[in-house]
Structure 1
Amino acid sequence: MSLNDGDFVFGRHSGIDFLKTQSADRINKVFLQTGVANDFAGQVYALAKKKRLVVQEVPKHKLDHLANGGNHQGLVLAVSSFEYADFDQLLDQLDQKEEPFLLMLDSIEDPHNLGSILRSADATGVDGIIIPKRRASGLTSVVAKTSTGAIDHVPVARVNNLVQTSQLLKDRGYWLFGTDMQGTDYRRWNAKGKTVLVIGNEGKGISPLLKKQMDQTLTLPMVGHVQSLNASVATGILLYQMLNSRNPLS
C-alpha cells in the first residue's frame, strides 16, 4: 500500500484493495483519472457506490500532484489515518451518562480549526464530536498535529446528514444549541442535561435547515470593530461556558 504524508493511497492494486477492505469512514475522496479504461472505471464506480462515495474525475496532472510523483495508475484515494467512532455505539455508551455533552460541527473546513477544537473539547470534557462526511475537514495528520494528542481522547463520528442526525438526537432527549448573531447572550446559557452544541462553518455559519433544529441559539457579544471570531476561538469560549454552567464555583 502506498500511503504518503499527505494521507493518500494511490495505484490501481492498492486503491482497489483499499476500496474493498476499508470502511467508508476511512475514505475522504476518490480521484479517478479522466479517460481511463472503461472496465477499470466501472470497477471503481461500482465499489464507490457500495460505500456511498463520490468519484471525482480529474486530469492526470492533478493525480501526479496528489501522489507526489508516485505511480498512481489513474487512481488516488484521499484517506484518513485515524479511526472514527461509530455513531450508534457512541450514543449507546452515552446513554449510561447522566448529562452527556456532544459537539456538532457543521462543515468546519480548516483542519487547523478542527485540531484546535479537539484540544478545547478534550480540556472541557466533551464526550464526542459529530462531523459530516462531505464538505468538511476529516481527521488528518494536520488535525492530529494541531490537536497535540487530543485526537486520541475525544471520539469523532462522521454522519451523512446533520439535519437527520439532529432529529435523532432530539428524539433521544438531547437539547440542541447553535450559534447565531441574534441569539441569547452565551453567558446566560444553561448547559446542563443532555446537550449538543452546534458550531457553524467558518464563513457561512450554521446551514438554514440545521438552524431550524436548534432549541436555542447563542451569541458572543462583540464590542469592537470586528464582528466575528475564529471558529475554534468561539468554540473554546462556549465550551468553557458549558464547563462553568455545569461546575459552578461554590
Structure 2
Amino acid sequence: MRRGHRPSVAPSSRPRFWGRHAVSAALANPERTVRRVWGTREALASFGTFPSDLPVTFAEVADLGRLVPADAPHQGVVIEVESLEDIWLGDLLDRGANDRRPLLVLDQVTDPHNVGAVLRSAAAFDALGIVTQDRHAPPESGALARAASGALELVPWTRVVNLARALDEIGEAGFWRIGLTGAANQTLDQAIGTARVALVLGAEGEGMRQNTEAHCDELAKLPISPKVESLNISNAAAIALYAVATRG
C-alpha cells in the first residue's frame, strides 16, 4: 500500500464508487474490474487483503472527500472502476427462458438515485434484469451504486437504442408486457395472469410515453389511495415485483 500520499483528484473517465456496500459488492463481482482503492486505515482493514496488483492508498477522511461529490457519504473508502460490459437484450432474455422471473423496463428514467433504488428492489425480488434506453438513462456512477447498495453488481442491466423495438423483442420472447400507469382502468393483480411478466415503468411526473404504452399488452395501476397522486418509481417497482412474486 502507498502511504502518506495525498490522493489524486485528476479528472477520470472511470466511475468512482464509495460507501462500504457498493465497494464490497464491486470487489466481490468477478465481472467488475477495480482499478484503484483509497481509504482510511480503519475502513480498509475491514476489507481484508486486496489483490497484490491493485493500487491501494491510505488517505484521510478529508482527502477522500476530494475524490467524490460534495457531502457524498463515502464511509472511508473510494474505488475507481471500469464500467461493466454491455449485456445484449437477446442474451438477457435467454437467461430466463425456463423460469418466471419478471423483467423491469424503464422508460426514460434518468435520475441515478431512482435507477439505483429500482436495481435494489430488482435484486430483492430476484428480477431477471432491467432494460433502459442507452441515451435516456444514467451511466454507472457513485451515486447510482450507492443507491443500489450493491445491487448494481447483482442485477443484469441491458441498454437498448430503441425501447419500442426492445419491447417487441421482449413480447416475442413470451413476456406479457404490463405498463404501469395511474390512468389504467384495471389494477395490476387483474392484469398479471400466468405468463412471464415484463413490468414497464415511466419516469416520475411524465410517466410512460405514448409510444411505449402502445407496445405494452396491457396497462395497469397500483391500488393506491386517491389521497396520493403517485408513488416514487422505486416504491412502485418494489410493490409491482412483490405482486408478481406472490401471484397464484
Give your verdict on TM over 0.5: yes
Q: CA deviation at 1:199?
A: 0.6
Question: Which residue of the partner structure matches residue 229 of structure 1?
Answer: 231
Question: Which residue of the partner structure matches residue 244 of structure 2?
Answer: 242
Cα distance change of structure 1 residues 89 and 6 upon mapping to structure 2, 3 Å threshold? closer
Q: CA deviation at 1:224?
A: 4.6
Q: Does 1:103 align with 2:112?
A: no
SS at match of 2:183: strand
Question: Which residue of the partner structure matches residue 209 of structure 2?
Answer: 207
Cα distance change of structure 1 residues 122 and 208 upon mapping to structure 2, 3 Å threshold? same
Question: Which residue of the partner structure matches residue 188 of structure 2?
Answer: 186
Question: Which residue of the partner structure matches residue 113 of structure 1?
Answer: 114
- For residue 242 of structure 2, what is the amino acid of its counterpart? Y
CA distance in 1: counterparts of 2:14 and 2:215, whole angstroms: 39
Question: Which residue of the partner structure matches residue 136 of structure 1?
Answer: 137
Conserved? CA contact 2:174–2:195, under 8 Å: no
Question: Which residue of the partner structure matches residue 86 of structure 1?
Answer: 88
Q: 5+ residue gaps in structure 1?
A: 8-67, 69-78
| Percent identity for Structure 1 against Structure 2 | 31
- For residue 127 of structure 1, what is the amino acid of its counterpart? L
Cα distance change of structure 1 residues 126 and 6 upon mapping to structure 2, 3 Å threshold? closer
Q: CA deviation at 1:4?
A: 6.2
Q: 5+ residue gaps in structure 2?
A: 1-9, 17-68, 70-80
CA distance in 1: counterparts of 2:135 and 2:193, whole angstroms: 29
What is the correspondence of 1:1-250 to structure 2 with a 5 Å cutoff? 3=12, 81-95=83-97, 97-183=98-184, 184-190=186-192, 192-245=194-247, 248=248
Cα distance change of structure 1 residues 90 and 187 upon mapping to structure 2, 3 Å threshold? closer
CA distance in 1: counterparts of 2:119 and 2:160, whole angstroms: 18
CA distance in 1: counterparts of 2:164 and 2:226, whole angstroms: 34
- For residue 151 of structure 2, what is the amino acid of its counterpart? A
Conserved? CA contact 1:80–1:139, under 8 Å: no
Cα distance change of structure 1 residues 191 and 236 upon mapping to structure 2, 3 Å threshold? farther
Question: Which residue of the partner structure matches residue 72 of structure 1?
Answer: none
Superposed CA deviations along residues 67-114 of structure 1, whole A, max 9, x for unmatched, are x9xxxxxxxxxx97333322222222222x232421100011111111
Q: CA deviation at 1:222?
A: 3.3
Q: CA deviation at 1:188?
A: 2.9
CA distance in 1: counterparts of 2:109 and 2:102, whole angstroms: 19
Q: CA deviation at 1:178?
A: 0.5
SS at match of 1:91: helix
Superposed CA deviations along residues 98-136 of structure 1, whole A, max 9, x for unmatched, are 324211000111111111111110111101110101122
Conserved? CA contact 2:88–2:158, under 8 Å: yes
Conserved? CA contact 2:15–2:140, under 8 Å: no
SS at match of 1:182: coil
CA distance in 2: counterparts of 1:213 and 1:133, whole angstroms: 18
TM-score, L = length of structure 1: 0.63
- For residue 244 of structure 1, what is the amino acid of its counterpart? T
Q: CA deviation at 1:3?
A: 1.7
